[in-house]
Amino acid sequence: MTANPEPELPPLHESLTWLTPLSEARAAALIAFLTEPAPADVLDLGCGWGELLLRVLAAAPRARGRGIDSAPASISRAVQQARARGLAERVELEVVPGRDADLTPADAVICIGASQIWGPPVEEAQPLDYAAALQALRQLVRPGGRLVYGEAIWSAPPHPAATAPLSGRDDEFVTLDALVELTREAGFEVLRVDQADLDEWDVFEAGFRDRFTRWLAAHGDDDPAAPAIRDRHEQQRAAYEEDYRGVLGMAYLCLCG
Ligand SMILES: C[S@@+](CC[C@H](N)C(=O)[O-])C[C@H]1O[C@@H](n2cnc3c(N)ncnc32)[C@H](O)[C@@H]1O
């Protein structure tokens, strides 16, 4: 007997603007940081479907951009959006694991939620190797250039219920203060330190769960896979609302190389 294939869920870009908890207001501040002064080139590592990179290029009309991501569906969406916004001539978008990419330094660099490019694979559930990521990023930011580094942190001390739906370990992430120290040790000047607020997290998590709701709306309750999809929705909701809300955080650091 063959196992039923995993149901294909709607793509996350239909429910989320970014694959990170990020409000429009915070995104505008990050774009302003990356484009004043105007960069000649912009590099986004783990660009997802390219929303921030494309907005930076729209705000810096002379800049060229490059985005890489290991997820083919995300890069397809980024390519489609680059064409729709008239930016295709100024941006290269590539499906490639970050470690295999032939990267050259840029004036403006973005790396949000993608430090795993330089560390152990997420499936190994090891502590996130921020230092390896920051050292690699340091080489990719031209002297005087700018980096927006976004990464998961502990916003409150982790407890067993909060870590259980994540990797199960207290040392997966560090606090915001510890992360700022790591960026200084890597040789960056820290210009601005922020973290996502609970509204940003609530919007992000609701969007993340929305693909389950959309799947159920499209397939109906009688579909044999519907109970499993409902379970996944409920597990995700409970893990966030009852366990890691306010504990798992997301830092946004504006750094100068
Ligand atoms: C948390 S998401 C953030 C996406 C995007 N930066 C944003 O803010 O919307 C992390 C992204 O890193 C990508 N990624 C993970 N491991 C990668 C790797 N080894 N090489 C390239 N991209 C990777 C994922 O496919 C995903 O799109």
Residue spans of the domains in the chain: they are 16-198+247-256
Assigned architecture for domain 16-198+247-256:
3-Layer(aba) Sandwich (3.40)
At 145-171, the pLDDT tens digits run: 999 999 999 999 999 999 999 999 999
Q: What is the mean pLDDT of the chain?
A: 96
Q: What is the DSSP string of 187-245?
A: T-EEEEEEE--HHHHHHHHHHHHHHHHHHHHHH-TTSTTHHHHHHHHHHHHHIIIIIIT
pLDDT band of 125, cuts 50, 70, 90: confident
Instruction: State residue 124's pLDDT score.
Output: 86
Residues composing the chain: 257
Q: Cβ distance 53 to 110 under 8 Å?
A: yes
Its pTM stands at 0.96
Comparison of pLDDT for 6 and 173, the residue scoring more = 173
Centre of ligand 1 to C-alpha 222, Å, is: 35
Nearest CA to ligand 1 atom 7: 19
The pLDDT value recorded for residue 2 is 52
**Residue 97 burial class via C-beta count within 10 angstroms: exposed 0-12, middle 13-18, buried 19 and up:** exposed
Q: What are phi and psi of 51, to 5 degrees?
A: -60, -45
pLDDT band at 3 (very low <50, low <70, confident <90, very high): low
CA of 35 to the centre of ligand 1 (A): 22
**In the predicted model, what is the mean pLDDT of residues 165-181?**
96
Region 169-197 average pLDDT = 98
Nearest alpha carbon, ligand 1 atom 11: 46
Residue 217 has which token pair? 């709306």
How much of the chain exceeds pLDDT 70, in percent?
98
Are 233 and 145 spatial neighbours (Cβ–Cβ below 8 Å)?
Answer: no
Ligand 1 pocket mutation pick from 30, 45, 70, 166 by most atoms within 8 angstroms of CB: 70
What is the pLDDT at residue 16? 98
In this structure, how many other beta carbons lie within 10 angstroms of the beta carbon of residue 39? 23
Q: Which residues sit opposite 94 in a β-bridge?
A: 68
What is the model's pLDDT at position 1?
46
Give per-residue pLDDT as tens, 47-103.
999 999 999 999 999 999 999 999 999 999 999 999 999 999 999 999 999 999 999
| Distance from residue 46's CA to the centre of ligand 1 (Å) | 4
The neighbouring-strand residues paired with 141 are 106
| Binding pocket residue ranges, ligand 1, CB within 6 Å | 18-20, 46-48, 52, 68-71, 74, 97-98, 112-114, 116-117
